A and B are shown apart, each in its own frame.
Chain A
Amino acid sequence: MLRLFRAELKKYLLEVKTYYPDQIVDIVTKYILFATFFYGFVHNAGNATNYSIGYMYWIIASGIISELSMSISFEKQVGTIEQLTIKPYPFWLILTVKTYVVLLVTALKSLLLLALIRVTLPVSLAFNINLVWILLVSVIGFTGIGLALSGLTMKFAKTASFESIISYGLLFFSGAIIPFDKMPVTVQRILDVIPFTAGINASQQSFNGSFHMLPVFLWLVVINLVCFMIGYWIFNAIFRNVKTNGVLNNY
């Protein structure tokens, strides 16, 4: 597992080095986006912490979901997908580790940018250690959703094209645009069992002081594991189907 992570990390760093102009553009764009969000939008809003948490979750969740399905789409396009399916590591694990590597590098870049924003702009960024583990547990659930979508991309390559709709749909439910308590009660109850919003809620509670660690932790673990298991099952069911119908290489 560690060897797989190292293999993907080294390969990704080489990719970053090769396509460094893309990275520069990404860093500059993110700086402008973060600065606009934290200084312009959040600075003038009533509850800056809640907006920031929602936005951060949205970036991570949409990053994982889009990276998983875009990876499949990319490997299909360049023609390396079948090679990856005949390796001793399970195919879903290779894709997941690829995604985590990208996420790790993106997270490091984002942390550096946030530090830069704090130095260059009059913005105060709050931090709570509970955020780290809530986020780590939430990543499990996001991976499940990403695996389900990448499974669909494996069979229907064009699924990846619709990924941005799902990503921006998530932004709507992040609480960064409309606060949760302003949403209809039924929607709020549904959102309680979705890992994405459950993580945001738990993170917001940890800042507001209304946080009971054990029940929240257990609830998060359960819904994220269930979400992961469903995504994992969907991915493998579609993988078997694709192997039966021989459409893995179709693009």
Chain B
Amino acid sequence: MYKVSNLKKSYGKKADLVLKDISFDINEGEILGILGVNGAGKTTLIKVLLRALEPSGGKIEFLGCDLSKIPLSTYYKDISAVLEGERNAYWYLTGFQNIQYFGRLKKLRDSEISEEADTLLKAFDLYDARDQTAGKYSRGMLQKLSIIIAMLGDPKVLFLDEPTLGLDLLTKKAVMNNLKRLAEEKKTTIVLTSHELDVIDAVTDRVLVLENGGIAYVGKTSDFKQMYSENKYKLTLRGTVAREDILSDEYALEERGAATDIILSNISNRDIDRILTHILEKDYEIISFSKDSNCLEDIMEAFIQRGSNRDA
């Protein structure tokens, strides 16, 4: 769908590059998550792809055509966006009136808008609040309304910048489920940024990790988890455990009632053998021993840590 080659972006001729010569593809119908710490260039990248910002160099192809040559009127029929920190609805209009207004700006007929609005309002559990003014909506409701507006007219690509920021768990789940359904049923390509790694973990097919404006990783989310997950085990022993009995100060010890959890992170198989042998020699009773599954948050933490070690 997109082919990005040697993309550069700086805010002004003398300013530092925010995006440094990056190249990647976005496939049709996939959900791509863009990850990175604050200031890594995530929002800039989305806005450049959205053509809300002009790139400073490089080339972007959209469906095989040079993006800069595609008329904006054509391009904006195919894509939609919910931008973080923006208000994507007018507060004095009701939810439905907002949908109608933005639908008309997308050149949709009123009958099409009403039909789509009903389906989407129900899917996002906002149907009963359709005639309330947006000013009375909670943050979660406003965010759902923004996503509904962005989904109008079945865009080929949907850009979402922090779509679940500040949402409660239930609303977040509803948003995530609807995004997955949209990608599956309508083959919509979704590009999203999020600091909430559980969202990225749950919905994305691939991730692109930005680090200081460059690409640190791009590939399948599952591969990223596999590649950067730590060798981490959880050992639970009965009773209190003396630190010297686990042969290292590095591992976390946590007492909880009659048992103690020991988190053996970043540990080699040889060290596991050594510690287990020692523990058994000391007559500790092992309640459980399991490989701790890494969540994406841990993986990102490890990834960033390795990055800073690399830089040092």
Query: A10 CB to closest chain B CB, in angstroms?
Result: 7
Task: Contact check, A6 vs B104: say whether CB atoms are below 8 A apart.
Answer: yes
Task: Contact check, A88 vs B85: say whether CB atoms are below 8 A apart.
Answer: no
Q: Point out the residues of chain B lying under 8 angstroms from A6, CB to CB.
A: 104
Q: Which of B83, B89, B105 contacts A89 (CB 8 A)?
A: B105
Interface string of A58-100 (1 = CB under 8 A from B): 0000000000000000000011101111111110001000000
Q: Which residue of A lies closest to B55 (CB)?
A: A244
Beta-carbon contacts under 8 Å, A1-31 to B: 3-4, 6-7, 10-11, 14-15, 18-19
A80 to B85, CA, bound (A): 10
Task: Contact check, A94 vs B92: say whether CB atoms are below 8 A apart.
Answer: no
A246 to B48, CA, bound (A): 10
Known contacts A87-B76, A88-B73; A11/B86 CB under 8 A:
no
Q: Which residue of A lies closest to B159 (CB)?
A: A86
Task: Contact check, A87 vs B92: say whether CB atoms are below 8 A apart.
Answer: no
Query: A176 CB to closest chain B CB, in angstroms?
Result: 35
Query: What number of A-B contacts does a CB cutoff of 8 Å give?
Result: 86
Beta-carbon contacts under 8 Å, B175-190 to A: none
Task: Contact check, B104 vs A244: say whether CB atoms are below 8 A apart.
Answer: no
Q: Which of B12, B54, B73, B100 contacts A243 (CB 8 A)?
A: B54
Q: Which residue of A lies closest to B78 (CB)?
A: A88
Known contacts A79-B85, A79-B86, A80-B88; A10/B101 CB under 8 A:
yes
**What is the interface residue range for chain A against chain B?**
20 to 34
Binding site for A on B (CB under 8 A): 11-12, 44, 47, 50-54, 56, 72-74, 76-77, 79-81, 83, 85-93, 97, 100-102, 104-107
What are 26 A-B contacts defined by CB distance under 8 Å?
A7-B105, A10-B100, A11-B90, A11-B101, A14-B93, A15-B92, A18-B92, A78-B91, A79-B86, A83-B81, A83-B86, A85-B52, A86-B52, A86-B76, A87-B76, A88-B77, A88-B106, A94-B105, A240-B54, A243-B51, A243-B52, A243-B53, A244-B54, A246-B47, A249-B85, A249-B86
